[in-house]
Homo-oligomer: A and B are copies of this chain.
């Protein structure tokens, strides 16, 4: 299993609209093969980013998502806040789950090397 975390630096004045946009998002990712779960995490401390966290069965499932038609659709729709809603560029982090107390018998994700995404923003 892998996790992807999109670390999004939201201007506090836009936090409420950002959350509302997420609540009403298309949700296309939820039906993709290999999708496990998706969480929206609000930072407690000023300056820390919101995190959109997704769990995927494998890295290949995530790769298939970011090159899918559904991905393009979902991201076109989510770009409805003005540029000043963000305090800086977002950053995508990919992690391999190697231990999980929810699943002590899990096979740790093998180390797959770097994963770089070229983003438009």
Contacts and interface: CB of A to CB of B under 8 A. Distances in A.
A101 B38 contact: yes
Contacts of A113: 44
Q: Which size class do A's interface residues fall under?
A: 35 or more
A95 interface: yes
A10 B115 CA distance: 18
B23 A94 contact: no
A114 interface: yes
9 contacts: A19-B98, A30-B101, A40-B99, A40-B100, A42-B109, A44-B96, A45-B114, A45-B115, A48-B93
Given A40-B99, A43-B95, 4 more contacts: A40-B100, A44-B59, A45-B115, A48-B95
